[in-house]
Chains A and B, each alone.
Chain A
């Protein structure tokens, strides 16, 4: 059984009286250890596809199966728990809570699931901060971090619940070459460790890291 299965996924949006197709019908399969790169021109629906696969929104047609369970028919709590425990997210803009410290931001997933004892998960969070090279910055405010450091913070947060799949939407889109390389190497390492990685990018250098490539065309 495939880890993640997208069956005839299609997404349309109602904009005023018009029905806009954001994603034309796509099917795909993702497995453990796979580093799937999704690419294509701007507006082709790459982000939309990633959102559908990761349960951030629901398809207009088709379905997504995670370990055989359909994401679009399961209840909201269960889906949220899967996102919390089984998925890790990295976005183009590093989303953080600016009023919390770097370490607290890394620990945020535990606020919504997993170990309820802070003394237990804080060690894990510190380990992950160390893994991305931010160990010394744990007490700082995210506002004081550079773009590259922020993206690494997000990376640590994505890993902290030991996810089965990492979803990354243009994770290097706003980084310089050195930081991009660092993030891509980390992603590759995670795939090597057996996690599935699904990454959207339109950068040639980034595509080279993928084990498989899915190219979307503009609708």
Chain B
């Protein structure tokens, strides 16, 4: 009959005994677990860096919106052609018509401009001519005042919304009349702070929302016009009620529609954030494999070190093992004692490695400026894998200790 209670009591005794044994040879124990410690440091540091990179990528994707497709003007790349004028209003109408109620198309035209208020304060800002759908798609709302309304589009009124930073730079408030170059314009709202659009690495142009002035697109005074057609700088398609797996085919269709209307001139670029997400996952997987290989290799090396220490301990303690057996220790208890020994050795190495790994990751963040993030998994994984290594590499020494007959062990000098 097996009593769990008794087993736990015995395990408790062996753990205490093994811990005391570890402390007997402090330097040897420390050196023996050093390999494991270093392995776990590397593992935790790498996981934290990987996690940081992933977090950054996910933030970027969240900023771009997972259910969106972004299209930008790229005429510069193809040079002047009269086959296509670039992104135009007709494109948005075609896409809108094709999407129906599956989504909406926001768009903008962009110009850099100097905003003036009271002929004094000047601020360099981006001025966008947008449709109301664009504001909705960017989830950018008004903090003070009123939003753009469809009437503003119809009336072509000279009104604008201001980002919080440019507004405070110019010290304007709702109702103020500012000048953009020579165009007077009434501020109808101040937007909520939104920071930047995280476009880094996507090929999209960046946008500092808080330093942006937004006007209704119709009648936008700074639109680039080619052959009487105002050119759009970007489209922002928002998909609604579309399952994730259909996003990429729909993006493909949208690309097709634009391609056809541009007579196959590739004068636009398209970014599908979902694709970025897939790429992040792929990179993460690859990274995980590299990680696992490096970590297993260093744990292997660490494990061999631990085995070495255990064999040295055991040959040194042969007579003590004989004594324990003589006074009633079964082979099982001898195995248990030395497995506890190697487990504690590696576990303490692993815990130390986890802590040092955190410090190393923080150090890397501080020195190299890489973002790091700590996942609970990495902190637990370190000691756990160290402990497993200890058990695996402790088996052989422990079995060897238990293989002696008590008489043989006691005779050993």
Q: Do A and B come from one complex?
A: yes
- Which residues of A does B touch, CB under 8 Å? 51, 54, 56-58, 76-77, 80-81, 83-85, 89, 91, 95-97, 99-100, 108-109, 111-113, 116, 157
Contact A108 B327 (CB under 8 A): yes
Given contacts A95-B410, A111-B13, contact A77 B332 (CB under 8 A): yes
Q: Which residues of B contact A80 (CB under 8 A)?
A: 325, 328-331
Q: Given the known A-B contacts A116-B6, A116-B9, are A111 and B17 also in contact in the complex, defined by CB atoms under 8 Å?
A: yes
Whether A57 pairs with B407 at a CB distance below 8 angstroms is yes
With a cutoff of 8 Å between Cβ atoms, the chain B residues found around residue A77 in the complex are 330, 332
Contact call A99/B24, Cβ cutoff below 8 A = yes
Q: Please give the distance in Å from B18's CB to the nearest CB on chain A.
A: 11
Q: Are B407 and A85 in contact (CB under 8 A)?
A: no
Minimal Cβ-Cβ distance residue in B for A89: B326
Residues of B that sit less than 8 Å from A by CB = 6, 9, 13, 17, 20-21, 23-24, 319-320, 322-333, 405-408, 410
A-B CB contact pairs (8 Å), 23 listed? A54-B326, A56-B405, A56-B407, A56-B410, A76-B330, A77-B330, A77-B332, A80-B328, A80-B330, A81-B328, A81-B330, A83-B326, A95-B320, A95-B323, A96-B323, A97-B323, A99-B21, A108-B324, A109-B327, A111-B329, A112-B324, A112-B328, A113-B328
Q: In the complex, which residues of chain B have a beta carbon less than 8 angstroms from the beta carbon of A58?
A: 405
> Which residues in B have their C-beta under 8 angstroms from that of A157?
327
Minimal Cβ-Cβ distance residue in A for B327: A109
Known: A51-B407, A111-B329, A112-B329. 10 other contacts (CB 8 A): A56-B325, A57-B405, A77-B332, A80-B329, A81-B328, A95-B322, A97-B320, A99-B21, A111-B17, A112-B328
Residues of B within 8 A of A85 (CB): 328
State in angstroms the CA–CA spacing of A80 and B331 once bound together.
9
User: Bound state CA distance, A73 and B225, in angstroms?
Assistant: 103
The 10 A-B residue pairs with the shortest CB-CB distance in the complex, in nearest-first order: A84-B328, A112-B328, A57-B407, A56-B407, A51-B407, A95-B323, A80-B330, A56-B406, A99-B24, A109-B327
Closest A residue to B9 by CB, please name it: A116
Residues of chain B within 8 A (CB-CB) of A76 are 330-331
Residues of chain A within 8 A of B325, CB atoms compared: 56, 80, 83
Q: A51-B407, A57-B406, A91-B410 are in contact. Are A109 and B328 (CB under 8 A)?
A: yes
Nearest chain A CB to B7's CB is how many angstroms away? 11
Question: Distance in Å from the Cβ of A106 to the closest Cβ of chain B?
Answer: 11
Query: Within the assembled complex, what's the spacing in Å between the Cα atoms of A96 and B326?
Result: 12
Report the separation of the CA atoms of residues A58 and B20 in the bound assembly, to the nearest whole angstrom.
32
**How far apart are the CA atoms of A109 and B13 in the complex, in Å?**
12
| A83–B410 alpha-carbon span in the complex (Å) | 15
Chain B residues with Cβ under 8 A from A109's Cβ? 327-328
Bound-complex Cα distance A109 to B322 (A): 13
Chain B residues, Cβ within 8 Å of A89: 326-327
What residue in chain A is nearest B326 (Cβ atoms)? A89
**For the complex, what is the distance from the CA of A58 to the CA of B407, rounded to whole Å?**
9
Q: Which residues of A contact B324 (CB under 8 A)?
A: 108, 112
Residues of B within 8 A of A56 (CB): 325-326, 405-407, 410
By a CB distance below 8 angstroms, the chain A residues around B319 are 95
Contact of A112 with B407 at beta-carbon distance under 8 Å, contacts A95-B322, A97-B320, A99-B24 already known: no
Supposing A99-B20, A116-B6 touch, asked if A57 and B329 sit within 8 A by C-beta, the answer is no
A92 to chain B, nearest CB (A): 10
CA–CA, A96 and B410, complex, Å: 11
Q: Separation in Å of the A120 CB from the closest CB of chain B?
A: 13
Please name the residue on chain B nearest to A78 by beta carbon: B330
Rounded to whole angstroms, the CA-CA distance of A57 and B408 in the bound complex is 8
CB distance from B94 to the nearest CB of A (A): 83
> Can you name the residue of chain B whose Cβ is closest to the Cβ of A50?
B407
A54 and B407 alpha carbons, distance in the complex (Å) = 10
For B409, give the chain A residue with the smallest CB separation.
A56
Q: Which residues of B contact A100 (CB under 8 A)?
A: 20
Residues of B within 8 A of A54 (CB): 326
Kindly state the separation between the CA atoms of A76 and B326 in the bound complex, as whole angstroms: 12
**In the bound complex, CA of A76 to CA of B406 (Å):** 11
Cα separation A33 to B162 with both chains bound (whole Å):
106
Instruction: Report chain B residues within 8 Å CB of A95.
Output: 319-320, 322-323, 326, 410
Q: Smallest CB–CB gap between A83 and chain B, Å?
A: 5
Residues of chain A within 8 A (CB-CB) of B320 are 95, 97
| Closest-CB distance, B320 to chain A (whole angstroms) | 6
CB distance from A141 to the nearest CB of B (A): 11
Decide if A112 touches B327 in the complex (CB within 8 Å). yes
Q: Which chain A residues lie closer than 8 Å to B410 at the CB level? A: 56, 91, 95
CB-defined contacts of B20 to chain A, threshold 8 Å: 99-100
Distance of A195 Cα from B280 Cα, bound (Å) = 77
A80 to B332, CA, bound (A): 11
